[in-house]
Amino acid sequence: MATFISKLKAKVYCTVDEVAEWLGVEDIKIDVPQAEVKAFLVIQDLTYIAKLVGVLGNAITIEYKDGVAAVAVPSANVIEVTFPDGTTDADAVKALVDGFPAAAALVDVTVSGTGATAQTSPVAVANLAGGLDDVAFDKGVEERRKRYELLINSATDWVERYIQTNVITRTKQEDLDGNNSNVIVPSHWPIRQINSIFIDFNRNFGAETELDPINFLLRGVADIPQDADVALTKIGNDIALRDDDENNVIGRVFSGSELGSIRVNYEAGWALDADDVPGGIKMATLQIIEFWEFQRSNRTLGVLSKGTMGQSFTKLKDGVPEAVTELLDPYENMTLGAYEKPQINLFGV
């Protein structure tokens, strides 16, 4: 059996093969290991499954003949089942095969249809099919793939720490405080969808405290990077609330400091899936992996300045080349208090 188990996290958006393509490392670009599969054949209401493992089971043949109930195995891998046409049900045919040792040694028979349904004969000779042999990873390739999976997981974590939000959209729940404003700002953005908002000073958050969707508005940001999903232009990073009764923008709900009185369940992230990830984020992630692999290969971990072959490596930011962080800067979290950048949030309403 193939034993390699991938350790890639669910949130990653790069594959080992993509990294191999980027780095030009051909010896880890291999097919996913294939576990062995037994051959099978469905005839009417019965399924015959080979006891031989892998492609060897594909050589087994089954034939139905019309006549007195009997089973024969005239030669290796050949099973002939004889029974009166239209008068023998699936359960009885299964019993015939199971009761003949030479046939039972070749196949397991299961009733995949209805056991009481009469089977018909003759049925021409047919091979079992679909048997596959085990294809395992070469040990050296397996070890290298695991190393690159570690790099992918670490680079993805690094990117999300830097931009202070998710890359792949995930569901979040937060309890927020009142802040003398009608605007609440969750920790993660871009927000793709608000699932629910509760306001409850007693923090029970029962159904009676849930806001009707008509009473809140998700507001977008103006500086969405050009390569982002078009749908991002319809979503945002903060939520404006309205009064339940008058439909007016309100501030009184948040007067004072009502700790944890607002519960928001929402979905946020830059991409719906790996194919949706903006190019700048994907490029930066691959470059981080390349930089770390370069450090490992050249034993330069901790070296801040080095000249070689006319090249000088000096300028790092947060531990990676500044060119990488420049790719990620347009995707930084711009929610309140995270960065000294222009905000669109309203206060003192």
pLDDT digits (tens, 9 = 90+) for 280-293: 999 999 999 998 88
C-alpha dihedral (144, 150, 153, 157), degrees to nearest 10: -140
pLDDT band at 7 (very low <50, low <70, confident <90, very high): confident
pLDDT digits (tens, 9 = 90+) for 118-170: 999 999 999 999 998 887 766 667 778 888 899 999 999 999 999 988 999 99
Please report which confidence band the pLDDT of residue 248 belongs to, taking 50, 70 and 90 as the band edges.
very low
From residue 123, alpha-carbon distances to 73, 76, 94, 107 in Å are 16, 19, 15, 18
Residue type, 227: D
Q: Which residues contact 154 (CB under 8 A, 6 or more apart)?
A: 292
Query: Which residue has tokens 């729940």?
Result: 173
pTM over 0.75: no
What is the mean pLDDT of the segment spanning 207-235?
66
Q: Degrees (nearest 5) of the Cα angle 59, 57, 85?
A: 70
State the average pLDDT over residues 175-202. Answer: 82
The pLDDT score that the predictor gives to residue 93 is: 97
- Max Cα-Cα span within the chain: 93
Mean pLDDT of the chain: 81
Smallest CA-to-CA distance from 35 within 134, 161, 180 is with 134
Structure tokens at 345: 């949030």
Site of tokens 């009764």: 245
Nearest to 44 by CA among 131, 101, 129, 126: 126
Statement: residue 47 has pLDDT above 80: yes
**Rounded CA gap, 243 and 241, in Å?**
7
> Would strands 118-119 and 46-50 be described as parallel, antiparallel, or unpaired?
unpaired
User: What confidence tens digit (pLDDT) does each residue in 81-110 have?
Assistant: 999 999 999 999 999 999 999 999 999 999
Cα distances (angstroms) measured from residue 325 to each of 86, 251, 279, 314: 74, 38, 14, 15
Structure token digits, residue 229:
């999903």
Query: Does 33 score more than 70 pLDDT?
Result: no
Stretch (H or E) spanning 47? strand 46-50
